[in-house]
């Protein structure tokens, strides 16, 4: 049953964006979510033909660090996925720490990274902007469409930037593929932890921590029931940095029934990266760490909405 839910999880974002509304009452969110997810059979004829075909016959690859699976590294599993893959590939990742830098190119679509919710694996790598550039520094980078991740820890172990050395930004992940979904995924880092680069994405029951601009990019994303954790510092800082450049663009970050946690004060919900940056917090617990002003324009002509 769990795999069935994960196979259809990515479909949810389209439904929310087109014809459904997340309940205002948080107590109703889980029942709404269960009612909204539809198995493939119930959606036949409403999806793109290539998408229906991909989900009809999924393949499972097992990665076990200690042996006993198809591969012992995630990179070897990714390499085994054919270029221009047209079937859902579920990469089940066994427990343990995987010290790897993983990248999936645009041609590798319909891939799921799935961990055990009772013993979640950790993807970890030490990479920073000085060596890779910020957007390429991630432990995990995905450019293929219809990516799904569930029950994972994703961490960049690069040290916290001290402001003295350039290039200390270090992403745990960058997602650049469209129609991606994340369930129970925890992202760890400091500055620029999560690059929500481009495409439409949906997050549920996730955790993202950082020190500055730690959710950034130009995607069109919904974050539902997600914890945004501010790591304390000596100066004021910012949670998001959205990069919408044109008024007619439909991109933006929307946080619904989320909570902002952390210690200290002076945290801004975001600062404008580009002229028309858009971020919305709805029905969310902002906590005492958030600065009363809320947003910072960052010298752009217009502030965040």
Alpha-carbon gap, residue 206 to 153, rounded angstroms: 10
DSSP 3-state of 182? strand
SS3 assignment, position 290 = strand
> To 10 degrees, the CA torsion angle through 24, 29, 34, 37?
50
Instruction: Quote the radius of gyration of the chain (alpha carbons, Å).
Output: 19
Cβ-contact 170, 191 below 8 angstroms: yes
Q: Hey, which residues are catalytic here?
A: 213
d(CA 110, CA 83): 11
Tokens of 157: 């172990």
Q: 167: closest CA among 143, 191, 189, 195?
A: 191
DSSP letter for 161, please. P
Beta carbons of 40 and 49 less than 8 angstroms apart: no
Taking the CB of residue 136, how many other CB atoms lie within 10 A of it? 15
- SS3 state at 16: helix
Alpha carbon 203 to chain centroid, angstroms:
6
């Amino acid at each position: 049953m769990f795999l069935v839910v994960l196979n259809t999880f990515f479909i949810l974002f389209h439904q929310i964006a087109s014809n459904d509304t997340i309940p205002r009452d948080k107590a109703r969110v889980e029942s709404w979510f269960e009612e909204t997810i539809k198995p493939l059979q119930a959606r036949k004829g409403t999806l793109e033909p290539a998408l229906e075909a991909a989900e009809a016959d999924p393949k499972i690859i097992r990665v076990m660090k200690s042996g006993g699976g198809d591969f012992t590294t995630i990179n070897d599993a990714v390499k085994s996925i054919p270029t221009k893959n047209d079937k859902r590939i579920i990469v089940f990742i066994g427990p343990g720490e995987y010290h790897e830098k993983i990248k999936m190119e645009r041609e590798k679509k319909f891939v799921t990274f799935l961990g055990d919710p009772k013993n979640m694996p950790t993807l970890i790598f030490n990479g920073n902007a000085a060596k890779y550039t910020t957007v390429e520094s991630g432990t995990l980078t995905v450019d293929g469409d219809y990516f799904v991740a569930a029950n994972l820890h994703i961490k960049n172990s690069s040290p916290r930037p001290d402001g003295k050395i350039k290039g200390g930004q270090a992403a745990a992940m960058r997602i650049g593929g469209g129609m991606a979904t994340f369930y129970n995924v925890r992202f760890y880092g400091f500055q620029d932890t999560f690059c929500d680069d481009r495409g439409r994405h949906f997050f549920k029951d996730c955790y993202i921590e950082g020190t500055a601009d730690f959710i950034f990019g130009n995607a069109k994303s919904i974050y539902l029931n997600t914890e945004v954790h501010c790591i304390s510092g000596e100066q004021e800082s910012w949670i998001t940095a959205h990069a919408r450049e044109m008024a007619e663009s439909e991109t933006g970050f929307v946080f619904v029934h989320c909570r902002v946690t952390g210690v200290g004060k002076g945290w801004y919900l975001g600062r404008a990266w580009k002229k028309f940056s858009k971020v919305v917090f709805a029905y969310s617990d902002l906590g005492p760490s958030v600065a009363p002003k809320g947003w910072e324009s960052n010298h752009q002509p217009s502030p965040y909405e």
